Structure 1
Amino acid sequence: MAFHEVRFPDNISRGARGGPERRTQVVELASGDEERNASWANSRRRYDVAYGIRRADDLAAVVAFFEARNGRLHGFRFKDWADYKSCLPSQAVAPTDQPIGTGNGAVNTFALLKRYTSGAQSWTRAIAKPVAGTVRLALNGVEQMTGWSVNTTTGSVTFTTAPGAGVAITAGFEFDVPVRFDTDMLDVTLDLERLGSITSIPLLEIRR
């Protein structure tokens, strides 16, 4: 299998449904109490893009995209319109949005990260597919216009010179979700007005 660095059509993904999924084992005891254990350390996102198809041309675009990916075989990029930035949806990306590391004078490569915080709890998500041209970086709050590069296929940032010891490294960015089709068949319906529809087109986040 391979990953195709191409994004699913934005006009269709805008109407998709879905979001993060967790896997939790819940065991009910004889006393009526319960025990809960997390089977997954990280969430995995699922989407259904059938809801974004509004025209026959949209349907044709999805069929073509599906065929080019060989069904479930090859992965691709997907824009989750509910969560595609390092900041809140109403804000603009800033170089101080997310902490991604602290310099030690030796390490010069860091991974892009996004933290989800509620109260005292937080979860950190690795960002593997940043959008080209959107990444901004800062050292100790000062934006760096040069001296670094980003790999948009892995989400790693490399500095020409390793940040000094204790230097706070932050980043802002837009990103896509690496996904694949979760079906090898598209069930297409063509009505009397020749407006096609598909009952369900499931996508599943690729985790490595």
Structure 2
Amino acid sequence: MTVRVLLADDHGAIRAGLRLMLDRAPDVAVVGEAGDGAAAVANARALRPDVVLMDIRMPGTDGIEATRRIADEGLGQVVALTTFDLDEYLFGVLRAGAVGFLLKSVGAAELVDAVRRVAAGDGILAPEVTRRVLAASVAAPAPAEAADLPGLDLLTAREREVLALLARGLSNQQVADALTVSETTAKTHVSRVLAKLGCRTRLEAAALAHRSGQVT
């Protein structure tokens, strides 16, 4: 399977560099580019990529708003790729529905691996920001009882196990290994957990797990 990628960045040189890194992978294809957020949304609608690498600071429609539109319409999985790891960008784009956050200092091998993982259903966070995301998840206000959080009481015992594994940041393959099931079965469990909790991304589900006391 070839992973189809859309690049969204207002600097042509950066798009060219990203394309060069991704084109070296035989199973990854850059199918389009966009120089601003509005073009990113339009191209995502037309091309239906598997993954959108989205800059945040762009003229006109910025990357956060473009991510929200793409996520709301189910046009592709968005990974924010930015120079700045400011909290307003990090949490803004994750709340908008991004499934990953990377810095532009990422190496070619790491970028290709991230694209593959996201296309396979995993989330991805730059090591530089992982601790801040987890800290924010734990610190967020929460109801006293887990049952007060919508969807948790709908989960089966196995799905609660899956949720706990997601909260630890495990990939689909790692979830499969932990449960001694196939990766396909793990993906099915993850999809059901997200649907029951009303979460768009694994990161949302992980945050919910921390707030509900499912993970300590």
Q: Is the TM value for this pair above 0.5?
A: no
Output the TM-score relative to the length of structure 2. Answer: 0.25
Q: Which has the higher contact order (CA 8 A, sep 6+)?
A: 1
Instruction: Give 1 or 2 for the bigger CA radius of gyration.
Output: 1
Structure ranking higher in strand proportion: 1
Structure ranking higher in helix proportion: 2
